[in-house]
Amino acid sequence: MKSSNIQIDLNYYLLYRVVKITNNKFFRVAIDRAAKIAGKPGRIIALLAQLSIKIKHTQGSSFNLRTIREQSFVVGRMVKAHVNGSYKIRSMRILIILLAAIIYFINPIDLVPDFLFGIGLADDLAVLTWVYHAAAHEINLFKNWEESLNNSIVLG
């Protein structure tokens, strides 16, 4: 089987998982919780601290896990910049879905509990991947903004 066929099969599988996950009660609860804390900076900062701890303690070295880690750190920086007022996320919907994905990820009891060795993080990673792609435009705007800050510091 060709590598491209394997990638297509993996993409279909992830899409199937995301549809299943986003229609489950655990993700709906995460969205409700995210909507309630979206305007509470202290609660968001505490959530970001929990995200950082969970990412650092997530074991594995696969390409997908490294990518998810990097994406999670970008999302964390973006949400933190939004909370401290240095960057403005343009859509409350995007902020809520990002917070919901973080809540879903840090919660050990969800569609596939994290303590199930080997598969416990599969749903979490699928949700994080889906949200990252759903918010790709905003994330790219943030990364460009962040890069412009870094360039101005170097040039200034």
Q: What is the pLDDT of residue 88?
A: 96
Type of residue at 138: E
State the pTM of this model. 0.76
Cβ-proximal residues to 82 (8 Å cutoff; 6+ apart), any chain: 88, 89, 95
Q: What is the pLDDT of residue 113?
A: 55
Cβ-proximal residues to 81 (8 Å cutoff; 6+ apart), any chain: 87, 142, 146
- Token couple for 26: 């655990």
pLDDT band at 8 (very low <50, low <70, confident <90, very high): very low
Does the pLDDT of residue 7 top 50, yes or no?
Answer: no
Q: pLDDT digits over 63-117, tens only?
A: 577 888 888 899 999 999 999 999 999 999 899 999 999 998 888 665 555 555 5
Does the pLDDT of residue 56 top 70, yes or no?
Answer: yes
Range scoring the smallest mean pLDDT among 41-45, 59-63, 65-69: 59-63
Q: What is the mean pLDDT of residues 144-148?
A: 94
